[in-house]
Structure 1
Amino acid sequence: MFEGSAVRRRLCWAALCLWAAGLACAAETPRPCPPLCQCDAELLQVNCSHRQLTAVPDGLPQDSRLFNLTHNKIKTLVHQQFKTLTQLWDLDLSDNILVMIEVEAFLGLQSLLTLRLARNHLKIIPVGAFVGLTKLQLLDISGNEILVLLDFTFRDLAALQYIKVGENDLVFISRHAFAGLTSLQDLHLDRCNLTAVPTESLTQLSGLTSLRFGRLGLTTLPNNSFRHLGRLKELVISRCPWLETLAANSLFGLNLTSLTICNCNLSAVPYIPLHHLVYLVYLDLSFNPITYIHGNLLGDLLRLQELHLVGGGLLRIELGAFRGLGHFKLLNVSGNLLTTLEVGAFHSADNLELLRLDNNPLACDCRLLWVLHRRLYLDFGGHPPICTTSVQLQGLNFLDFSEAELPGLFTCRQSRILNRKPQEVRVEQGHTVLFYCNADGDPLPSIIWLNPQLTPLSIIGRIRVLTNGSLEVRYAQPQDSGTYLCVASNAAGNDSLPVSLHVRGFPSSSRNHFRLESWFDFPSGSPAVNGTQQFSFDVKTLLIAVTIGFLSFFSSVTICFIFMFFWSKGKGQIKHTATIAYVPRSAMTNSTGGKSMETGRFTMKLI
């Protein structure tokens, strides 16, 4: 009996072992995997990359999450090509030779989040190609040969957040091409043949937060280029070598926090288009041929913290350039032509955290002393400024100096006008006068001239400042008389020199004077007297003017008569006959029926 029980126990153990072995064998049965492909059961990934496939393989595991078909020779995607892969998250068909995608090719991929079709040969995407991709968030169709984006191409991608359309042959984007992309946040348009901003198409993307244009044929940004993009926070325009100007209202309606316009052809900071961007924090204008940052023109950018202008050919950053920017923390102007940067350019230099001045021909003098005093608190990005133009300090960077030697090294020499001989000129009306003003100092002083009303004179007009610092008064008038002041200034101080001008007017007996109202706008800048501007004309001038006027009048009349003569000749023969008729009539001398008399009337007709 005990032996029977033992046999039964052994049979039970054998059955259990066979059952466990069967389970183990079943667990080791491999998942289906297409030939030439590699399948990862743990990652639920199918990798068919670089397999010279000409079509999408069959027999794919239906629970796959990642499907890699890159670097093959697939040419066409047919209707419902992937209908069994209902759990697929990522599909990559980049670097094939795709030329056609049939309508509903991706139907069934209701779980797909990422679709890449980059670097193929697609010329057009038919409407309806993306039907069924209700959860797609990223689409990459860059690097194809697409010429036109048709209306409603992406209307089935309501969940799409990011799309790359760059490096195509795009010449036109239809007005409703982006209709339906209610969730789109990021759009890349790079290296296309577009020559204008597709404003009408972009108005469909009211939820867009980031827009990138690159290597387009733009020559200007017209007004209202980005209207209805009120949620846009980042705008990047790069590598547009023909982009020279931004219209005054080109950025109107935007509330940007980041703006990049780099590797373009802007010759000046676009102050007017920028002034309403009060939320702007980051501004990059690098690699544009910008030479000046003028003073007091960026103050509307109240929240600006970073300005990058690398490799722009900057010659000068004027005093007050960043006035009003109380949050300004970073300035990167490396690789320019700056010789100095004065502390007066900043609203508050104490707020500055990072300063890049490297690769500039810096003159190490008193104007840069503030940088040395703050060098322990400033981050130079690993590239401290280096003295270039100073022979004594050439090649030394700002971290090589001790605090004790600074006052004797970083020095300036005050401006000094060299020739201080009195200049008093007396001339008759109509002559041209030249005043000289030469100055010396370290750094080289700048020279301005003030008129007798102490108003600065410009380089244009009848009274103007020449490039060599001299003052020219052309066709001097009596009202130009007075004392002019030459002022030479640099960082160490100013010097001035007054000069006098006396202009004698023509005698009133031989000249007739006429007073013209001041609504004539003359660029000479000469002051008006009692709201009028006086100009003298002699009798000879008036006679010549009157004679020319009469000659012009008689010439016009003569031409008219000649024209009428030839015109009448062209109308045929004219009959020069006249008929004269005499018609007698009666007239009463009074109303009582008394005496009456006959009167006559002549009528003449010319035929």
Structure 2
Amino acid sequence: MGDLVFNAEMTFGSWTHVHMDLLERLSLFHGIFIFSLAVPSSCCPELCNCHVGRVNCTGKGLRYVPENISPLTIALLLPRNAISALRPSSFFRLDHLQRLELQINLLSQLHLQAFQGLQSLRYLDLSFNLITYLQPETFNPLTSLTTLNLGNNRIRSLDPSAFRLLPSIQELLLHNNDLHVLDVSVLQKVPSAASFRLDGNPWACTCQILPLWRWMDENRDKIQEKEAIRCGLPGNRDQYPVLAIGKNHFRRCLENFTKHDYLFIFLIGIGLFMCSIFACFISSLAVVAYNRLRFKYKTRPHVYKKKIGAYVNRVVIDDEETNKAI
């Protein structure tokens, strides 16, 4: 009897599991079906393939981001084309877009408002393009972005606030660019990131890289391909692993003034010079005021003496005249 009850419970449990799995599959199929009805075929750009929220325009020779993309698109694939620029609001109305692939194009410019409205985007691939510079506010609208791939471009410098407003970023890839130096605050302002790639850049292993070297040394666990991060300058350090450099290499950097130190000294010098001019002006005013007061002080008693003497003489004369009259 116990075995019968146990078998019945097992059968009922198995049937329930199968039933729940079937319900989940039906629910997923129902969602896909509703989505397919909600996206008419006219919302698929010419030359592209569209299927269930995924628009694939890979290798179609496109020169611009196509129009007529469904606002319900979740993934937009545009690799291996000839797109050279992203215009303002190139992805207008794509509020649900989560994945955008633009690798292997001819992108050299990203308009400041190119990614406006992509607050749901989580993955952005801009690798293998011709990007040399990024405006600080370019990625500000991407508040949900977790992965940003900027590898294999020609980026020479990055503004310290380039990624400041990416609170969800987890992976930042900057490999194979033309970075010689990098303000360490670029990396410090993305504390949520757990993975970086900095290899393939011709790093200048001089005193300028010291703050970045310290950051790398303290965050080795976050850096991918750390062995491939190598010096490009100076000549005696060419292709030398950056993280293999010891602290002794930077000892002279601590003994010499940096450009910031010289700037500070210069500003202090200007401040002292202006203060000295102001002090001279005030002291000259004080001297002039003192001389004027001194002059008045010397001249006033002399006038009083004349008046008093004249009055005394007049009194004496009056007395003499009075005595004669008597």
TM-score of the superposed pair, with normalisation by structure 2 = 0.59
| Residue 280 (structure 1) aligned to one of 97, 110, 121 | 121
State the AA in 1 paired with 2:220. Answer: L
- Tell me, in whole angstroms, the C-alpha distance in 2 between the residues paired with 1:343 and 1:295: 15
User: 1:235–1:260: 8 Å Cα contact kept in structure 2?
Assistant: yes
Whether 1:408 aligns to 2:251 is yes
- Tell me, in whole angstroms, the C-alpha distance in 2 between the residues paired with 1:361 and 1:200: 42
Give 1:252 shift: 1.1
Whether 1:290 aligns to 2:131 is yes
Give 1:347 shift: 6.2
Give 1:338 shift: 0.8
What is the match of residue 229 of structure 1? 71
What is the match of residue 398 of structure 1? 242
Give 1:213 shift: 1.1
Q: Secondary structure at the match of 2:212?
A: helix
What is the match of residue 305 of structure 1? 146
Whether 1:250 aligns to 2:90 is yes
- Tell me, in whole angstroms, the C-alpha distance in 2 between the residues paired with 1:366 and 1:267: 30
User: 2:121–2:142: 8 Å Cα contact kept in structure 1?
Assistant: yes
Q: Secondary structure at the match of 2:259?
A: strand
Greater RCO (Cα-Cα under 8 Å, separation 6 or more):
2
- Structure in which a larger fraction of residues adopt helix: 2
Whether 1:269 aligns to 2:113 is no
User: 1:388–1:395: 8 Å Cα contact kept in structure 2?
Assistant: yes
Give 1:246 shift: 2.9
Segments of structure 1 that go 5 or more residues without pairing to the other structure are 1-157, 162-179, 188-196, 417-440, 442-487, 499-607
Task: Give 1:139-538 correspondences, 5 Å limit.
Answer: 182=36, 199=45, 208-221=52-65, 224-226=67-69, 228-230=70-72, 232-241=73-82, 243-254=83-94, 255-346=96-187, 348-364=189-205, 365-381=209-225, 383-391=227-235, 393-402=237-246, 404-405=247-248, 407-408=250-251, 413-415=257-259, 495=266
- Tell me, in whole angstroms, the C-alpha distance in 1 between the residues paired with 2:112 and 2:85: 11
Give 1:495 shift: 4.8
- Tell me, in whole angstroms, the C-alpha distance in 2 between the residues paired with 1:495 and 1:401: 32
- Tell me, in whole angstroms, the C-alpha distance in 2 between the residues paired with 1:284 and 1:400: 31
User: 2:61–2:80: 8 Å Cα contact kept in structure 1?
Assistant: no
Give 1:401 shift: 3.7
What is the match of residue 99 of structure 1? none
Give the alignment's Cα RMSD to 1 decimal: 3.8
Give the count of matched residue pairs. 232
User: 1:368–1:410: 8 Å Cα contact kept in structure 2?
Assistant: no
Cα gap change, 1:201 to 1:363, in 2 (>3 Å): closer
State the AA in 1 paired with 2:36. Answer: T
User: 2:167–2:190: 8 Å Cα contact kept in structure 1?
Assistant: no
State the AA in 1 paired with 2:122. Answer: V
Give 1:299 shift: 1.9
Give 1:181 shift: 9.6
Cα gap change, 1:209 to 1:389, in 2 (>3 Å): same
- Tell me, in whole angstroms, the C-alpha distance in 2 between the residues paired with 1:305 and 1:410: 36
The one-character-per-residue Cα deviations of 1:90-139 (angstroms, maximum 9, x if unpaired) are: xxxxxxxxxxxxxxxxxxxxxxxxxxxxxxxxxxxxxxxxxxxxxxxxxx
User: 1:340–1:363: 8 Å Cα contact kept in structure 2?
Assistant: yes
Give 1:229 shift: 3.1
Structure number with larger C-alpha Rg: 1
Q: Secondary structure at the match of 1:221?
A: coil
Give 1:389 shift: 1.0
- Tell me, in whole angstroms, the C-alpha distance in 2 between the residues paired with 1:329 and 1:181: 30
TM-score of the superposed pair, with normalisation by structure 1 = 0.34
- Tell me, in whole angstroms, the C-alpha distance in 1 between the residues paired with 2:78 and 2:253: 41
State the AA in 2 paired with 1:408. Answer: R
State the AA in 1 paired with 2:180. Answer: T
Task: Give 1:69-88 correspondences, 5 Å limit.
Answer: none
State the AA in 2 paired with 1:247. Answer: R
- Tell me, in whole angstroms, the C-alpha distance in 2 between the residues paired with 1:275 and 1:494: 43
- Tell me, in whole angstroms, the C-alpha distance in 2 between the residues paired with 1:355 and 1:494: 36
- Tell me, in whole angstroms, the C-alpha distance in 2 between the residues paired with 1:209 and 1:375: 38
Segments of structure 2 that go 5 or more residues without pairing to the other structure are 1-28, 271-326
State the AA in 2 paired with 1:374. Answer: E
- Tell me, in whole angstroms, the C-alpha distance in 2 between the residues paired with 1:332 and 1:381: 11
Give 1:184 shift: 11
What is the match of residue 322 of structure 2? none
State the AA in 2 paired with 1:323. Answer: R
Q: Secondary structure at the match of 2:57?
A: strand
User: 1:283–1:307: 8 Å Cα contact kept in structure 2?
Assistant: yes
Give 1:278 shift: 0.9
The one-character-per-residue Cα deviations of 1:467-520 (angstroms, maximum 9, x if unpaired) are: xxxxxxxxxxxxxxxxxxxxx97xxx685698xxxxxxxxxxxxxxxxxxxxxx
- Structure in which a larger fraction of residues adopt strand: 1
User: 2:164–2:190: 8 Å Cα contact kept in structure 1?
Assistant: no
State the AA in 2 paired with 1:395. Answer: Q
User: 1:323–1:346: 8 Å Cα contact kept in structure 2?
Assistant: no
State the AA in 2 paired with 1:258. Answer: R
The one-character-per-residue Cα deviations of 1:152-199 (angstroms, maximum 9, x if unpaired) are: xxxxxx99x8xxxxxxxxxxxxxxxxxx993799x9xxxxxxxxx953
Identical residues among aligned pairs (%): 21
Cα gap change, 1:272 to 1:218, in 2 (>3 Å): same
Cα gap change, 1:208 to 1:261, in 2 (>3 Å): same
State the AA in 1 paired with 2:45. Answer: T
